[in-house]
Amino acid sequence: MTATAEAELVTANTADSGPPAIVSDKLFKTYSEGIFSRKKFQALKGVSFQVNQGEIFGLLGPNGAGKTTFIKVLLGIIRKSGGSASMMGYPAGSKNCREMVGYLPERLRIPPHLTAYNALEYFGNLSNVPTSVVKAKRDEYLELVGLKGRETDLVKKFSKGMVQRLGLAQALLHDPKMVILDEPTDGLDPRARAEMRAIIKNLANRGVTIFLNSHLLQEVEMICNRVAILDKGNLRYCGPVANIGEFLGAGSVGADGKPVATIKSYLFNLIGTPQTLQSGLEGCEFTIVSNVEGMAAVKVAFQDQSDVDRIVDKLRSSGVSIAGMELQRVSLEDAFLQLID
Ligand SMILES: Nc1ncnc2c1ncn2[C@@H]1O[C@H](COP(=O)(O)OP(=O)(O)OP(=O)(O)O)[C@@H](O)[C@H]1O
């Protein structure tokens, strides 16, 4: 874990909102495979971070990073190999803990011949929620997920987005304090994704902690307060989305000891001929965004202020006019690509 990620664990606020929603402390998971389980694979390598109640928290990582493994350990579907994990103050996987948490798995299959009402009863029964409770809660949650008026329609008539929202309603039947959503917007069109985002925000406004596992970085950037980035079982970052640029700029060292490069950039609006521009930008790491009739928009990477001064001097001495320059915020996607191997 990086120094910043560690600091995050210590400083996370837990004082006024009860126990943290999730605490993962040096969590390890080793899978055993092959004859006599001799082949070992470490999917989680001492992952430590904390999620506070009331947050919309995103878990990110490339394929094989260990995200699903992490969620399975939390839910008690598989056993950890070391360290500890808890949710809402209870050991991960315990009965108390499961009662506090709702789960929407990736691509939940809902029998198509059921109505929305029947589907909620079906899933309620599977997770020991009494039918009387399902009946008392179903209208409230169908309304929350935008399915009011579709209660007795067959699931086979639902769009993918509606099925996903019904899946979310089933995760809420027992009034959980936190929901774990595994790729909730995967495969949905932009409109359905926006609807799902609005529902998630609404749920968070009602005080439900949201733990979101998603590949869609822009989605995560739009709704999450904080994120954790996993890569090959290591935590590479934990903190606010907005601070990730600062983190990268601080000359941070990744979990493997490798320095994490700075990726700050300025967007320059430059006036010049192809020759002056070429000479002015020589030696810089840059991307031409547009170049129309002598006016070029160019994104130029820099490490520190002395770099910026040097770039400006070089442009000016090459005869290029600087019509404007704007500091670019590091997108979560840029940061993500820098942080993973
Ligand atoms: N039952 C298992 N036995 C052995 N190895 C496993 C098992 N389950 C997962 N793994 C391995 O553990 C690593 C982490 O897998 P995991 O499914 O947790 O990653 P992920 O971040 O959820 O990936 P994705 O985004 O592709 O779903 C992968 O290399 C995977 O092959």
Q: How many CB atoms lie within 10 A of CB 193?
A: 20
43: CA distance to ligand 1 center in Å?
Answer: 7
Task: Give me the residues of the chain with pLDDT under 70, please.
Answer: 1-17, 35-37, 245-263
Q: How far apart are the first and last CA of the chain?
A: 14
Ligand 1 centre from 68 Cα, in Å? 7
Predicted confidence at residue 148, as pLDDT, reads 94
Is residue 211 a contact partner of residue 22, using CB atoms and an 8 Å limit?
A: yes
What is the number of the ligand 1 atom nearest to the C-alpha of 66?
A: 18
Q: Which of 320, 317, 310, 316 is nearest to 276 (CA)?
A: 320
Report the pLDDT value the prediction gives residue 40, as an integer from 0 to 100.
86
Q: How far is the CA of 159 from the centre of ligand 1 (A)?
A: 29
| For the CA of 62, the nearest atom of ligand 1 | 25
Residues with CB under 6 A from ligand 1: 31, 33, 41, 43, 61, 63-69
* β-pairing verdict for 22-33 and 39-51: antiparallel
How far away, in angstroms, is 70 Cα from ligand 1 center?
Answer: 10
3-state secondary structure of 291: strand
- Interface predicted TM-score of the whole assembly (ipTM), two decimals: 0.97
Residue nearest atom 1 of ligand 1, based on CA coordinates: 31
Q: Which one of 63, 77, 229 would you pick to mutate in the ligand 1 pocket, going by the greatest count of ligand atoms within 8 A of its CB?
A: 63
The contacts of residue 149 (CB under 8 Å, 6+ apart) are none
Domains defined for the chain, CATH in brackets: 3-249 (3.40.50.300), 264-339 (3.30.70.250)
* pLDDT of res. 248: 65
- Residue 222 near residue 242, CB atoms below 8 Å: no
The pLDDT, as a whole number, for residue 58 is 95
Asked if residues 300 and 328 have their Cβ atoms less than 8 Å apart, the reply is no
Quickly tell me which residue has 């929305």 as its tokens: 116
